Amino acid sequence: MQRPRTDLEENREKLIKCAEAIIREHGAIDFTMADLAAEAGMSQTNVFRFFENKDALAEAMAGRWFAELIEIVEDLVEADMPARQKLFEFFARRLAIKRARFKENPELFRSYMELGEQHFEVVRGYVDLNDHFMAIILAEAMEEGYFEGLELDEIVSLVNAMVQPFCNPMLIKDMMPLANETRLQQVIDTILAGLKARPLDPPQKKAVLHLAK
């Protein structure tokens, strides 16, 4: 891939900063490329040289948001450590970054979440990539003897279900007091010690189906 010119990079960076200022102030929903041009003091035609539409802008912003998080995970997957520690670090390192970002600027954090909801097809790719790396770590844990009798896909879903307060940025505001590293370690250890295949009790399922009507 061709290396982008510095001028292009600089202008894109400037426009992203302007976009951040707008969404922080007014939210991400009604924000338009015309607002962006006004905020940046550029003509709309000029803005379109750097981002052809709001989707392209959102993609660039998501790229910045996830770059650091993905890098951490890539390094971690390569690292030589026991699966228990790796799984802990997988969540703890990103939790620390997200928590710091939230504390630095709660409004901007919230606006990024809103932007992500509006452009979920962009976010989806990063979520899938993340699940892919988590699956590698969980497969290492399987080799170490954890998760007896379960399939990898199922393990990924169940671990995702049990660690939401430590990884879902939508929960960060409400869950920050709960989601500390000590609890994360306890959750990881609970998962490693307790997650395995078990027969289900049919009577309990029946009771739920009855109530769901």
Which chain residues interact with a copy of itself by CB under 8 A?
Answer: 85, 88-89, 92-93, 95-97, 99-100, 157-158, 160-166, 168, 170-171, 174-175, 178-179, 181-183, 185-187, 189-196, 198, 200-201, 204-205, 207-208, 211-212
SS3 of residue 3 by DSSP: coil
* Of the candidates 137, 123, 26, 21, the residue with the CA atom closest to the CA atom of residue 74: 137
CB of 139 to a copy of itself, least distance (A): 18
CB of 179 to a copy of itself, least distance (A): 7
Residue 50 vs 166, nearer CB to a copy of itself:
166
Residue 51 vs 91, nearer CB to a copy of itself:
91
CB of 26 to a copy of itself, least distance (A): 13
38 CB neighbour count, 10 Å cutoff: 14
Q: Which amino acid is at 213?
A: K
Q: What are phi and psi of 6, to 5 degrees?
A: -60, -40
- What is the residue whose two structure tokens read 């504390």? 103
Residue 14 vs 180, nearer CB to a copy of itself:
180
Residue 47 vs 163, nearer CB to a copy of itself:
163
Alpha carbon separation from 73 to 64, 129, 136, 187 (Å, rounded): 15, 10, 11, 19
CB of 164 to a copy of itself, least distance (A): 4
Residue 80 vs 201, nearer CB to a copy of itself:
201
CB of 211 to a copy of itself, least distance (A): 5
Where b means 16+ CB within 10 Å and e means fewer, 158-193 reads ebeeebebbbebeebeeeeeebbeeebeebbeebbe
- Tokens describing residue 82: 């026991």
